Amino acid sequence: MEIPIVKNILEANEKMADQIREDLKKRGILVQNLISSPGAGKTTLLERTLTDLKDEFNMAVIEGDLQTDNDARRVAATGARTAQINTEGGCHLNSAMIRAALDKIDLEGVDILFIENVGNLVCPVEFDCGEDAKIALLSVAEGDDKPEKYPLLFHLAKAMILNKTDLLPHVDFDTDRAAAFARKLNGDLDIFEVSCRTGDGLRGWYDWLRDARQAKKRA
Amino acid sequence: MEIPIVKNILEANEKMADQIREDLKKRGILVQNLISSPGAGKTTLLERTLTDLKDEFNMAVIEGDLQTDNDARRVAATGARTAQINTEGGCHLNSAMIRAALDKIDLEGVDILFIENVGNLVCPVEFDCGEDAKIALLSVAEGDDKPEKYPLLFHLAKAMILNKTDLLPHVDFDTDRAAAFARKLNGDLDIFEVSCRTGDGLRGWYDWLRDARQAKKRA
C-alpha cells in the first residue's frame, strides 16, 4: 500500500519541478541545489561565493531549515536576495516549497539562484526542486567512504565539493579514495577540493559556475 | 490527506516498538539507539566500546545502512554479534526492521544491544525502534549550532556524545555553546566530550553505560 502513495508524491513533485525549471529557464536563471550532511559547509560556501562573485552576478538564495533563520540571516548579510523556508521538522525541500518561496523573491535581473537544502544526505536527493544541477558537498571530517555509503546524491550530482581541506592533516581521509568512489557512481562528476574557511581552492568552483551560467544563457 | 497516513505509520511503528521494548526488558537487555549525521563517528564509537568493554558485557549490534555492509563488518571484527539491515535507500530504521533483525541474532546472554541508525540527523529521530535511550552523536567538525538547528534529537536523547574533540584546535566550535543549546532543549541531557580516534574521554561514557545497564537489571 505504501509504494503507490510514495510514487504519487514523487510524481507530483517532479511535475511541479519541471514547471519551475521551465519558468526559470525563460528568465535565464541558473539554479543550483546544494545538498550535504549537516555541518558540511553549505552556508559558508554560499557566504564565500555570494561575496566573491558579488560584482559579477546577481545572486539569490532560498534557504531551507528545520528551525531557525540563522543561515538565512548569514547569507542575507552578504547582500543577496534571500527567502527562508522553515520545514518545521521536515527532512527535505520539495518543489511546492520552492514555488512558494519564489513568490517571495524579486527575480528581476537574477543570474544564479542557489537552493540550500536541509542538511541531510538522503531525503533531499529524491525531491527535484526544479534545479539545473544538484551540488554535493562533503566535508573531509565525514570520512572518505561517504560516496559509497550514500550513493544516490553522488550519482545524480553534477559537481562534488570536498570541503574543509584545511583539516586533511588531522583526519584519516583519502581524497583519491573518495573521488574514485564518487567517479565510479558518476563518470562525469566535477570535483573541487576547497576550504571555505581559508578560501583555498574556490577559484575552480567559481570558474565552473561561470561556465554553467554561460551555458544556461546560450540555452 | 498526507497527515493521517503519516500518523498511522508512526502509530503502527510505536506499537511494535513497545512490544520490542517489552520483550527485551524480559531478557534484561539494555537497548541504545545511536543517531547522528553521516560521519559523526557512530561506528568508531562502537568499535571502541565493543573492544574496551568486551570482558565486562556481552554486546550485540544491529547495523543500519542504505547500502554496503562495511560498518557491520567493522563491528563484527570486534567479536560482537551483529545483524545488518540494508534499507536500500531508506532514510531511517523502524521497529519492523528491528524486529526482523532480532530474529537473526542469538540474544542469549546479551547485556547490551546497540542499534546504529542510518546517518541522518532528522528522520531516525521520529521512529522509535524499541530502545531504552537514544544517544545523539555530534562531531565538533559539524559546528556548535547543530543542537539549535536540529532540535528534536537533542530534546529526546538521554546522552549526547561530542566526538572528534581532537579536532577542536582546528575548527570554530564552542563546546559551551553547543552544550548550552542542547541543555536548553533537554535539562537532563548527559554530555560526554570524547575523541573516538584517540580514546580520550571515553571513560565517562563507559561509566554511564555501566550505570544504565545496572538500572535496567534492577527494573
Q: pLDDT tens, A52-103?
A: 999 999 999 999 999 999 999 999 999 999 999 999 999 999 999 999 999 9
Which CATH superfamily, name and number, covers B2-218? P-loop containing nucleotide triphosphate hydrolases (3.40.50.300)
C-alpha cell at A174: 583519502
Chain A positions in Cβ-Cβ contact with residue B122 (cut-off 8 Å): 66, 89, 91, 118, 120, 123
pLDDT tops 50 at residue A175: yes
Chain B closest-CA separation from residue A85 CA (Å): 13
Interface test with B, best of A44, A121, A152 (most B CBs within 10 A): A121
Residues of chain B with pLDDT under 70: 1-5
* Structural domain boundaries in chain A: 2-213
Closest listed residue to residue A143, CA positions, set A116, A172, A167:
A172
Listed in sequence order, the residues at least 6 apart from A163 whose beta carbon sits closer than 8 Å to its beta carbon are A40, A41, A44, A45, A137, A138, A139, A140, A194, A195, A196
Q: Can you tell me the distance from the alpha carbon of B113 to that of A132, in angstroms, rounded to the nearest whole number?
A: 45
B166 close contact with A: CB closer than 8 A: yes
Angle at B6 between CA A101 and CA B149, to 5 degrees: 50
- Return the CATH fold of A2-213: Rossmann fold (3.40.50)
CA distances from B199 to A194, B47, B161, B192 (A): 29, 11, 13, 12
Chain A closest-CA separation from residue B141 CA (Å): 6
Structure ipTM: 0.94
A174 close contact with B: CB closer than 8 A: no
pLDDT tens digits, residue range B21-74? 999 999 999 999 999 999 999 999 999 999 999 999 999 999 999 999 999 999
